[in-house]
Structure 1
Amino acid sequence: MCARFPPSSPNDLLSLSLPRRCLHFLLLCFQVQVLAAEENVDFRIHVENQTRARDDVSRKQLRLYQLYSRTSGKHIQVLGRRISARGEDGDKYAQLLVETDTFGSQVRIKGKETEFYLCMNRKGKLVGKPDGTSKECVFIEKVLENNYTALMSAKYSGWYVGFTKKGRPRKGPKTRENQQDVHFMKRYPKGQAELQKPFKYTTVTKRSRRIRPTHPG
């Protein structure tokens, strides 16, 4: 445990010598405790706001995969400042580094080859930028009922990453969550599937009391 819980006030938390991660968590819990004392509080809104807050304390989670477009039948490419969905499986420009940006589902997407970020400007156009610190380069991952993933702009709510059948970007204002144009499937790059190591069980015999590794199956 990080400290005795619940705290009585924010000053009590600040006076403790704690790792930043523990302190951040306890402050969040204290905010929820204060809200519980108020009437007619919608906790869903509070939780949603907290999960969308920037997480500058925890280590970022970095993943490498491709995004297969349901409409073009190809993969998103970050070609410097130009974006398309015409990449073949394993194309170097289709390999994307995806970094989690918050406690929730916000991500930043960068082309592994070009190191440009996938962004959406104020006109709803998809562009590549060398600096991904702007909120225009943050997207909210939404897993849909059909198991496809949609990427909604964190800055321009209701605007999605989308492409035509020819792999051309669609402007954000013309996209909707139920359109196939904004549906994507995550895929590992060809020949680079993530290897899962089998879990090793151990047993102790009454005879020798020595630990012997066993393999499932």
Structure 2
Amino acid sequence: MGDIHWKMLQVGAWDECQYRRVLAAEENVDFRIHVENQTRARDDVSRKQLRLYQLYSRTSGKHIQVLGRRISARGEDGDKYAQLLVETDTFGSQVRIKGKETEFYLCMNRKGKLVGKPDGTSKECVFIEKVLENNYTALMSAKYSGWYVGFTKKGRPRKGPKTRENQQDVHFMKRYPKGQTELQKPFKYTTVTKRSRRIRPTHPG
């Protein structure tokens, strides 16, 4: 019995030591790094959310257009080339943007140039959506960190290396086309009320 009791104590001491090591490791984990890494990772498992809207450029005063391989920000409200289908991952704020009319994807190549591509599977066609303090949205390349979708006052694309998050050139506002409603219905909360006690009717005896 003495040997068995001693072995049980040894096992208990080993388990406690391992437990303390796990706790110490968890205390040293920087959760912010974990969130940033998860944000940059593609989510290929969860259901995608599909939106239809326009992106209004703060500098040009017009909307982004996907004109096949050519990209501009000269579209009027309701312009068919300015209507964008935006596929959003449910985690990570990463999006792929496709022109509804041309079915070409908005992409950024290794030189930082905005181009349209028929196939949007490349990481060059993935952007990280960032909501800024001024309520505008910026789109940073998922492949080339620090490079943003941007346009000049004339609606011409800016090259990624010449863009910064605080520049008005990279600020956009989401707008639905005229007469167009959201493709996906917003989530509705169901109000649950406390169930009242049922009172049985009394019958005359």
Q: TM-score, normalised by structure 1?
A: 0.73
Contact 1:203-1:211 at 8 Å conserved across structures: no
Q: Check 1:51–1:36 CA distance in 2 against 1; reply closer, same or farther (3 A cut).
A: farther
Q: Check 1:32–1:47 CA distance in 2 against 1; reply closer, same or farther (3 A cut).
A: farther
Pairing 1:95–2:83 present? yes
Q: Measure, in 1, the Cα distance between the counterparts of 2:173 and 2:161.
A: 22
Q: Check 1:214–1:84 CA distance in 2 against 1; reply closer, same or farther (3 A cut).
A: farther
* Aligned mate of 2:173, from 185, 202, 209: 185
> What residue is the counterpart of 2:38 in the other structure?
50
Partner of 2:28, secondary structure, is: coil
Q: Give, in angstroms, the shift of residue 53 of structure 1.
A: 1.8
Name which structure has the greater RCO, CA cutoff 8 Å, separation 6+. 2
Q: Check 1:195–1:50 CA distance in 2 against 1; reply closer, same or farther (3 A cut).
A: closer
> What residue is the counterpart of 2:184 in the other structure?
196
Q: Give, in angstroms, the shift of residue 216 of structure 1.
A: 40
Q: Deviations over 1:95-150 (max 9, x none)?
A: 00000146111100000000000000000000000000000000001111110000
Contact 1:204-1:210 at 8 Å conserved across structures: no
Q: How many residues align?
A: 189
Once structures 1 and 2 are overlaid, which stretch shifts more, 178-187 or 33-42?
33-42
Larger Rg: 2
Q: Give, in angstroms, the shift of residue 37 of structure 1.
A: 3.3
Q: Measure, in 2, the Cα distance between the counterparts of 1:74 and 1:206.
A: 51
- Percent pairwise identity: 97
Contact 2:97-2:105 at 8 Å conserved across structures: yes
Q: Give, in angstroms, the shift of residue 194 of structure 1.
A: 3.5
Partner of 2:34, secondary structure, is: helix
After the TM superposition, which segments of 4 or more aligned residues of structure 1 sit over 2 Å from their partners?
29-40, 193-217
Partner of 2:204, secondary structure, is: coil
Once structures 1 and 2 are overlaid, which stretch shifts more, 149-158 or 185-194?
185-194
Pairing 1:32–2:20 present? yes
Q: TM-score, normalised by structure 2?
A: 0.77
CA RMSD of aligned residues (A): 7.0
Partner of 1:110, secondary structure, is: strand
Q: Check 1:209–1:117 CA distance in 2 against 1; reply closer, same or farther (3 A cut).
A: same
> What residue is the counterpart of 1:148 in the other structure?
136
Q: Give, in angstroms, the shift of residue 34 of structure 1.
A: 6.8
Contact 1:200-1:216 at 8 Å conserved across structures: no
Partner of 2:26, secondary structure, is: coil
5+ long unaligned stretches in structure 2: 1-16
Q: Deviations over 1:8-48 (max 9, x none)?
A: xxxxxxxxxxxxxxxxxxxxx99999797345221111122
Partner of 2:190, secondary structure, is: strand
Contact 2:51-2:182 at 8 Å conserved across structures: no
> What residue is the counterpart of 1:139 in the other structure?
127
Q: Check 1:105–1:31 CA distance in 2 against 1; reply closer, same or farther (3 A cut).
A: farther
5+ long unaligned stretches in structure 1: 1-28
Q: Measure, in 2, the Cα distance between the counterparts of 1:201 and 1:213.
A: 34
Pairing 1:64–2:43 present? no
